[in-house]
């Protein structure tokens, strides 16, 4: 009986999808901007990754590889980048990518002729962009930042395009077809992609379904072929009838404690909370065991920079937690609030488990759910909160990940401030030798852990569900969906 059901399902999938060579992917949110230089949301990058390319592009191992540039070199002192363009790379409108397009794109980010740039980083770190000949571009930094290479994954767009928002044109394996707000974003195969082997399918529709449960229903009904981000419990529902791939996220799920608010300004309280939280229990209950325990703000996927052994720095112990609480003057615990964005069931579940754990040491934590827009405003920007649980999506650069804690970083919503930490981060991005840089970043992670800057919970392994006849899915340590390698069989 089971086998018959399985065959039937396979057949149905085969009939509905093979005929069309079309993939429907469920995504959670609308893009913020189609113009790649204005877009900030990772949900946008997830889709438009297939449409745009930079001089370089991320590869599945978490490094960058040449894309529009055929090769590149970095000067000894790390201040000068030289890119040689690949010949014959075409934009979706058929025109060939020229150095002028590259200059236009990079200058648009940096800002030129008195106009502000669209990227704070390019504004801050780049001093000069120039063409050497019609194949070569040089970029000179003003301040040393040895993680700047990763920035060149930013999209190269044609100067001739008058409206990047309405009519986005890039060089990626897929061409933009249409975007209907709240409904779908459709892309189709670009025949003149510089890598002739890609892409393999004709068309991809990103269907915007904000509600994971509705997305699962659509998947079960065969309307959707890829569900990119399921948690383990949801994946269980799908059973073994589908292709389920476990993908590490390079995400850091953490519980932030507002260092500017009493009693979290006291390191003993923060340490007590770290001792009170049993991460393994959280992982077990919330993620069905599919999560990697963390000890600092870095996922093990970032293998070069990851500092091992911190995840057990604070062993779960009610006694230690209570002792620290008494020492800090709260022998009976205290009342507090965990603010959680209401659209993330995963974080809500985590909060429920942690609240129970804190109860065991006398800390009474109330869970407050707020809308995502309220969270961004009140918690993330205005920093009016006590504790909050959130997942920070990974970047290719360790510097990008760790600078959140630098005292004057605008989005340091932890209100974390440590002179030594700031110094180490500043030092690290000036190191050109990888090992030297890595050891400083590892030191930075230690400081965060020792200071109990936050409770670092896990890197949740989310699960990608694929229709049974869909193959070739590539997992990245980034928030992207690479559609170019997928094919039906």
**Interacting residues with other proteins (CB under 8 A):** 12, 30, 32-33, 38, 40-43, 116-121, 123, 165, 180-183, 207, 209-218, 220-224, 233-234, 236-237, 239, 284-285, 342-343, 348, 352-353, 356, 367, 369-374, 376-378, 380-381, 390, 392-393, 410-411
| Rounded least distance, CB 322 to other proteins, Å | 23
Minimum gap (Å) between residue 235 Cβ and other proteins: 11
User: For other proteins, which is the closer residue by CB, 233 or 427?
Assistant: 233
- Which are the contacts of 355, defined by CB distance < 8 A and separation ≥ 6? 338, 365, 366, 367
Q: Give dist(CA 76, CA 69) in Å, integer.
A: 20
- Smallest gap, in angstroms, from Cβ of residue 367 to other proteins? 7
Give the integer Cα–Cα distance in Å for 154 and 475: 20
Q: At its nearest, how many Å lie between other proteins and the CB of residue 371? A: 6
* Sign, CA torsion 160/164/168/172: positive
Tell me whether residue 212 or residue 274 sits nearer to other proteins (CB atom).
212
How far is 122 from 107, CA to CA, in rounded Å?
Answer: 9
- Sign of the torsion angle spanned by Cα atoms 169, 173, 179, 182: negative
b/e string for 13-36 if b means 16 or more Cβ within 10 A? beeebeeeebbbbbbbbbbeebbb
Q: Rounded to 5 degrees, what are φ and ψ at 57?
A: -140, 155
Residue (91 or 462) nearer to other proteins, CB: 462
The DSSP secondary structure of 235-296, one letter per residue, reads: HHHHGGGSEEEEE----EEEEEE-TTSTTTTSHHHHHHHHHH--HHHHHHHHSTT-EEE-SS
Q: How far is the CB of 324 from other proteins (least distance, A)?
A: 27
Q: How many CA atoms lie within 13 A of 214 on its CB side?
A: 8
The answer to whether residues 182 and 63 touch, using CB atoms and an 8 Å cutoff, is no
Q: Compute the least distance from the CB of residue 132 to other proteins, in Å.
A: 28
Residue whose token pair is 């930490």: 421
Burial of 229 from C-beta contacts in 10 A (0-12 / 13-18 / 19+): buried
- Nearer to other proteins by Cβ, of 148 and 193: the residue is 148
CB of 211: closest distance to other proteins in angstroms?
A: 7
User: Least CB distance from residue 381 to other proteins, whole Å?
Assistant: 6
Of 99 and 220, nearer to other proteins (C-beta) is: 220
Residue number with CB closer to other proteins (40 or 433): 40
Give the C-alpha distances (Å, rounded to integers) separating 216 from 125, 226, 286, 466. Answer: 44, 10, 18, 12
Residue 39 vs 89, nearer CB to other proteins: 39
Nearer to other proteins, 99 or 285 (CB): 285
């Amino acid at each position: 009986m089971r086998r018959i059901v399985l065959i039937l399902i396979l057949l149905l999938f085969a009939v509905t999808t093979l005929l069309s060579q079309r993939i429907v992917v469920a995504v959670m949110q609308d893009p913020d901007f189609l113009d790649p230089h204005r877009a900030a949301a990772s949900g946008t990058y997830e889709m438009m990754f297939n449409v745009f390319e930079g001089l370089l592009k991320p590869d599945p191992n978490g490094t960058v590889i040449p894309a529009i540039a055929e090769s590149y070199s970095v000067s000894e002192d790390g201040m000068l980048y030289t890119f040689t363009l690949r010949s014959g790379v075409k934009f979706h409108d058929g025109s060939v990518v020229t150095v002028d397009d590259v200059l236009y794109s990079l200058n648009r980010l940096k800002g030129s002729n008195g106009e502000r740039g669209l990227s704070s980083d390019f504004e801050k770190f780049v001093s000069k962009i120039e063409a050497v000949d019609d194949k070569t571009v040089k970029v000179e930094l003003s301040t040393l930042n040895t993680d700047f290479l990763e920035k060149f994954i930013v999209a190269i767009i044609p100067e001739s395009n008058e409206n990047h928002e309405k009519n986005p044109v890039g060089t990626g394996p897929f061409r933009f077809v249409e975007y209907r707000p709240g409904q779908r974003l459709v892309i189709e195969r670009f025949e003149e992609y510089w890598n002739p082997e890609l892409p393999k399918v004709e068309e991809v529709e990103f269907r915007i379904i904000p509600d994971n449960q509705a997305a699962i229903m659509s998947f079960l009904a065969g309307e959707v072929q890829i569900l990119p981000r399921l948690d383990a419990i949801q994946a269980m529902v799908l059973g073994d009838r589908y292709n389920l791939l476990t993908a590490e996220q390079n995400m850091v799920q953490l519980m932030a404690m507002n260092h500017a608010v009493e009693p979290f300004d006291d390191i003993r309280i923060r340490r007590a909370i770290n001792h009170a939280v049993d991460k393994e229990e959280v992982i077990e209950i919330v993620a069905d065991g599919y999560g990697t325990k963390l000890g600092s703000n870095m996922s093990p996927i970032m293998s070069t920079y990851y500092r091992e052994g911190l995840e057990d720095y604070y062993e779960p112990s009610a006694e230690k937690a209570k002792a620290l609480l008494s020492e800090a003057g709260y022998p009976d615990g205290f009342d507090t609030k965990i603010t959680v964005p209401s659209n993330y069931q995963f974080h809500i579940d985590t909060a429920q488990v942690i609240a129970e754990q804190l109860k065991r040491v006398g800390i009474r934590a109330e869970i407050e759910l707020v809308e995502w827009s309220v969270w961004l405003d009140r918690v993330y920007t205005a920093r009016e909160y006590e504790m909050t649980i959130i997942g920070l999506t990974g970047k290719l650069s360790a510097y990008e990940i760790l600078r959140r804690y630098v005292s004057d970083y605008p989005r340091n919503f932890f209100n974390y401030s440590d002179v030594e930490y700031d110094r180490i981060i500043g030092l690290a991005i000036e190191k050109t030798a990888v090992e030297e840089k890595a050891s400083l970043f590892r030191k930075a992670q230690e400081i965060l852990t020792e200071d109990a800057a936050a409770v670092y919970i896990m890197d949740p392994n989310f699960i990608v569900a694929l229709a049974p006849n869909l193959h070739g899915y590539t997992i990245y340590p980034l928030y992207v969906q690479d559609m170019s390698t997928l094919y039906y069989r």
